Structure formats: structure tokens, C-alpha cells
């Protein structure tokens, strides 16, 4: 195996959402508070993350301040105007269940929008009333069962 060309950049992290910022860009920025890798439980680490708007829209019910989430992503960084390195994680998956992140999802993500419409994997399941012609066809099909 050519170990020189092998590159691992995946991150799995869990924590509590502390802020969500919509920058009207293609990414939503959010922060996570997690425990530092130490025996002292009072040490905290604050992490900056980005998530694509599309993925955010699918899982937006997780993005409530104080929610515990499990994240899969990759490390990313840039050099800002003051020549300081800014590091963050770009999220590729998020869940409130650690097994979804470790072994993959077994079912679709279902939630309800504030107006009561079911959302299936980020797509609204709106009821569309039938046209007059469709209603007439359904009545003809069901006519024998009345």
C-alpha cells in the first residue's frame, strides 16, 4: 500500500449546539460545545462548524440551541485577512443518534414543519387537492363499492 498518498481527514464529534448563524451563503455556520479530552469534566472545547444549506434544510430540527448532536465531517481551514489560520469542521452528516453516524442511517429522517406538514428527508409532503376530473375518475372507480 502506498501510505504516502493515503490521507485521512474525517472527524466524528458530539456536543451541544451553542449557536446557529445563517450567513445567507451556501453554508450555515454553527457552534458546538463538547468536553475536552481530559479527566476533568469541567473543561470545555468550542468548535466551529459549517453545514451546507441543503443538508441543514433536511435536518433543521436538530439545530436548536442546547440540543445534543453527533456529527461526521472533515477538517477545513483558511488564512484570514490578519494572516491567522481559522479552523472549522465541514459537516457531512448530523444526527441525534450516534449509531446513525457510526453505521449509517437505516430509515428516512421525518419531522414536521411548524405548520403541521410532514417533511420527509427535507422534502415537504403537501396534500394536493384533486382536480375536478381526478375526483370524477376516483368516484367512478369506487362506484362499485358504494
User: pLDDT per residue over 55-72, tens digit each?
Assistant: 998 999 999 999 999 999
The pLDDT tens digits for 120-134 are 888 888 888 889 999
Does position 81 have pLDDT exceeding 80, yes or no? Answer: yes
Taking all residues of the chain, what is their mean pLDDT, rounded to a whole number? 89
* Domains assigned to the chain: 3-105 (2.40.50.140), 108-146 (no CATH)
Cα distances (angstroms) measured from residue 85 to each of 43, 46, 78, 80: 23, 16, 6, 6
- Pairing verdict, β 110-112 and 85-95: unpaired
Q: How confident is the model at residue 35 (pLDDT cuts 50, 70, 90)?
A: confident
74, 92 in Cβ contact below 8 A?
Answer: yes
Q: Which three-class secondary structure state does DSSP give residue 49?
A: strand
Q: Which of 46, 43, 101, 41 is nearest to 69 (CA)?
A: 101
The C-alpha cell 451563503 sits at 25
Amino acid at each position: 500500500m502506498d501510505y504516502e498518498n493515503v490521507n485521512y481527514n474525517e472527524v466524528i464529534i458530539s456536543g451541544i449546539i451553542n449557536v446557529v448563524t445563517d450567513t445567507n451563503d451556501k453554508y450555515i455556520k454553527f457552534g458546538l460545545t463538547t468536553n475536552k479530552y481530559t479527566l476533568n469534566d469541567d473543561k470545555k472545547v468550542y468548535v466551529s462548524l459549517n453545514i451546507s444549506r441543503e443538508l441543514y434544510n433536511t435536518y433543521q430540527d436538530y439545530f436548536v440551541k442546547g440540543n445534543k448532536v453527533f456529527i461526521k465531517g472533515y477538517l477545513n481551514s483558511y488564512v484570514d485577512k490578519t494572516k491567522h489560520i481559522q479552523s472549522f469542521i465541514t459537516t457531512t452528516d448530523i444526527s441525534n443518534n450516534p449509531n446513525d453516524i457510526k453505521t449509517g442511517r437505516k430509515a428516512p429522517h421525518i419531522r414536521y414543519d411548524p405548520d403541521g406538514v410532514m417533511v420527509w428527508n427535507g422534502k415537504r409532503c403537501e396534500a394536493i387537492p384533486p382536480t375536478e376530473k381526478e375526483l370524477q375518475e376516483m368516484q367512478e372507480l369506487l362506484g362499485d363499492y358504494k
